[in-house]
Amino acid sequence: MITTIIPTTCERPELLRAIASAQGSRVVVVVNGNRYDPALFERVKALATTVYLPEGNVSAARFHGLRYVETPFFGFLDDDDEYLPGWADVRLQAMDSGADVVVTNGFIREETDTPLVDDTEPIRSDPLGSFMRRNWFASPASLFRAETIPPETFDFRIRYFEWTWLFFVLHGKRIEFVNDLTYRKYEDNADSVSKSAAYHLAYPDFLADLCALDLPERIKREIRTKRQSALNSASNFHLSNGEIGKSAALHMRCLATGGWRYLPYTRSIVAALMR
């Protein structure tokens, strides 16, 4: 009934854990890029349908994996995360309601397991607004109905924040949230992309692209406010690294987009110029 697509660079043994947790579904592993471990690659080929994509891009890998979906439903699992026992039954049962997408709760593993969502009522009453405060549309959380979510929905090359982009692209589809804990997402990985400087520096431009989507004005206002904060954060990053020109340019962009509450930060840039 379900195809699970696992995009991976095929470098870490945690991939084997992910594959094992998805048993009960048809597993398609998309190895992308040229950093893969040949020995691990051979082990994976014995466990799941395995394809190779030369381009090292996780979004491209997810889209490529959709070519191999022949089941009524599909989902995605990052190579360092895992499903929990019973995950498929919970999601398939929720699909009986006619939803296009079923999203479940799950654990975030840092030092201990913590549920991603504590209070589910805001999600049910205002999905868009609640998402602006907490991303509950995590990569291992969702099951998609192949009949109503076409492959081209995933045809984008966004390198970071792709699940945030996807959530807003799906605006208008019937998304049902279920509070059952069906996955464990590991956030204690020091090599995680979300911990990189490039990830955070890409955020302001991503928010600008997001604001161009057809979304309610109240949501666009919140996105613009987040972008002002992101520009200020990026400006501070460059300043702390002695890149005063880049810091000043981002600070001016922040002010130009209405971030006047960050005007006092100008003093920090001026002080750095005078040293």
Domain harbouring 170, CATH code: 3.90.550.10
- Phi, psi (degrees; rounded to nearest 5) at 112: -135, 175
pLDDT one-digit tens code per residue, 117-176: 998 999 989 999 999 988 999 899 999 999 999 999 999 888 889 999 999 999 999 999
Torsion angle defined by CA atoms of residues 88, 94, 99 and 103, in that order, rounded to the nearest 10 degrees:
-60
20: its two tokens: 């094992």
What's the whole-model pTM score? 0.90
**151 shares a domain with 107:** yes
pLDDT one-digit tens code per residue, 208-234: 999 999 999 999 999 999 999 999 999
For residue 193, give the nearest of 159, 163, 157, 235 by alpha carbon: 159
Q: What is the pLDDT of residue 159?
A: 80
**162 shares a domain with 212:** no
**267 shares a domain with 145:** no
**152 shares a domain with 23:** yes
For residue 26, give the nearest of 49, 53, 60 by alpha carbon: 49
Evaluate whether 206 touches 229 at the Cβ level (below 8 Å): no
**153 shares a domain with 187:** yes
- Domain limits for position 266: 197-274
Beta bridge partners of 104: 178
Mean pLDDT computed over 93-121: 94
**239 shares a domain with 212:** yes
Arithmetic mean of pLDDT over the chain: 94
192 pLDDT higher than 80: no
Domain end, chosen from 191, 224, 259, is at 191
- The Cα–Cα gap between 107 and 104 comes to 10
**226 shares a domain with 95:** no
Beta bridge partners of 115: 107
Q: What is the pLDDT of residue 110?
A: 86
- Per-residue pLDDT band for 104 (boundaries 50, 70, 90) equals very high
65 pLDDT higher than 80: yes
**157 shares a domain with 68:** yes
What's the number of domains the chain is made of?
A: 2
Handedness of CA 220, 201, 18, 30 (dihedral sign): positive
Domain end, chosen from 167, 191, 215, is at 191
- The Cα–Cα gap between 222 and 217 comes to 9
Q: What is the pLDDT of residue 228?
A: 97
**84 shares a domain with 19:** yes
**212 shares a domain with 229:** yes
Q: What is the pLDDT of residue 165?
A: 95
**64 shares a domain with 178:** yes
Q: What is the pLDDT of residue 169?
A: 94
Q: What is the pLDDT of residue 199?
A: 85
